[in-house]
Amino acid sequence: DAKTTQPTSMDCAEGRAANLPCNHSTISGNEYVYWYRQIHSQGPQYIIHGLKNNETNEMASLIITEDRKSSTLILPHATLRDTAVYYCIVSLNDYKLSFGAGTTVTVRA
Amino acid sequence: EPEVTQTPSHQVTQMGQEVILRCVPISNHLYFYWYRQILGQKVEFLVSFYNNEISEKSEIFDDQFSVERPDGSNFTLKIRSTKLEDSAMYFCASSEPSWTVNTEAFFGQGTRLTVV
């Protein structure tokens, strides 16, 4: 699986959009970009995934660049409950996820 | 909303003892997984299980570990002779394979294993 690079941490103001970048320059054509998060040592929680097109669901939006070498997860209106570690994972499928260190996102009131 | 449930939430065991961690995956899911997270470290893949057999395992998953789906609803992880370094949070996950669309893995809340 391709390796991803994420910032170690970032802060976000409550109610504002949080934009989480991820670089995956070695992604191959059939690999997906997955985003999971982990709130305070709970089990990881699926957020969204995509292949080429931008995706949106009730939790977030995923913007993937045209060359697929990077992506951005957007939490449109961050709340205090969105404070978590966010993982960007590139994988052929979700049958074996390789978690990195992720980005620790702190939402401040 | 369906969820993966794990029991117990916390297990303390003596070094050298056998321990069984239990999981009830989401009922219509066909793929099952175990991951672990040592305190302060990354979430690590241990094993995936499909059609009553292991489909993939990591280097961590050595002969001390085994998995079983004993009754069609439970999915267990057994550690035969626990070591201090097995202390970690163990997460069970399941997913519904779809041959046309990727689906997400749902994780349980974890079992914290403490080996003393």
The residue assigned the tokens 């370094």 is B85
A62 token code pair:
């995923």
Q: Which pLDDT does position B111 carry in this prediction?
A: 98
Q: Which pLDDT does position B2 carry in this prediction?
A: 82
Distances from the Cα of A52 to the Cαs of A62, A70, A105, B6, B105, in angstroms?
10, 11, 25, 35, 20
Distance CA B67, CA B14 (A): 21
A79-107: average pLDDT: 93
Task: Grade residue B98 by pLDDT with cuts at 50, 70 and 90.
Answer: low
What's the pLDDT tens digit per position in A23-58? 999 999 889 999 999 999 899 999 999 999 999 999
- Flag if B107 and A94 touch (Cβ within 8 Å): no
Interface of A with B in 10-69 (CB under 8 A): 32, 34, 38, 41-46, 49
DSSP code of residue A2: -
Q: Which pLDDT does position B99 carry in this prediction?
A: 58
Q: Is B110 on the interface with A (CB under 8 A)?
A: yes
B34-55: average pLDDT: 95
Chain B closest CA to A102's CA: distance in Å?
A: 9
Percentage of chain B beyond pLDDT 70 is 96
Res. B12: pLDDT tops 80: yes
Consecutive H or E run containing A24: none
Long-range contacts of B52-58 (CB under 8 A, 24+ apart): B55/A95, B55/B31, B56/A95, B56/A96
Out of A43, A49, A93, name the one closest to residue B91 (CB).
Answer: A43
